[in-house]
Amino acid sequence: MDLVTIQTFDNYFNANIQLTRLRAAGIECYLKDEYTVTIDPLLSNAIGGIKLVVRKSEEQNVRTLLREMNASSDNQLLCPQCGSHNFILVPKRSTENLLTAITTWLFSAYAVSVENVYQCADCSYESETLPEY
């Protein structure tokens, strides 16, 4: 049985969401290296992240299905100011994030997680959660 990697992830949340979507559609698939990356996230880049793997015979069907799923979920986002569907995740401009960046730079330590917000790429509207219509 030939297997092929369809998608890679840097965290198990997104990986399991896609895995569940595909299994709900009746596609046999699994996650490779999920436990390694979950236990030690610093190894994610070294081993190529968490890999979503399917049979080679189902590759084209899965790619088409994922494209449709991602397109339908992207269209649910709607900026309340300009009506755009184009959101990106950016670091929040705050004193805490600035102090974290300075501390990390000074001590060359492992970066502490910073707060992020979703920002409309068209009008720069910011939101803590993804706006939906």
Condensed to tens digits (0 to 9), the pLDDT of residues 18-35 reads: 999 999 999 999 999 999
**Residues 56 and 98 occupy one common structural domain:** no
| Residue predicted with more confidence, 74 or 131 | 131
Residue 38 belongs to a domain? yes
Range of the domain at 29: 3-74
| CA dist., res. 70 & res. 77, Å (int) | 12
- What confidence tens digit (pLDDT) does each residue in 51-108 have? 999 999 999 999 999 888 877 665 567 888 888 878 888 877 778 777 877 887 788 7
Task: Identify whether the C-beta of residue 113 lies closer than 8 Å to the C-beta of residue 91.
Answer: no
Residue 79 belongs to a domain? no
What's this model's pTM, rounded to 2 decimal places?
0.58
The four Cα atoms 27, 33, 38, 39 give a dihedral, to 10 degrees, of 150
Residue 24 belongs to a domain? yes
- What confidence tens digit (pLDDT) does each residue in 102-127 have? 887 788 766 666 678 888 888 988 88
Residue 80 belongs to a domain? no
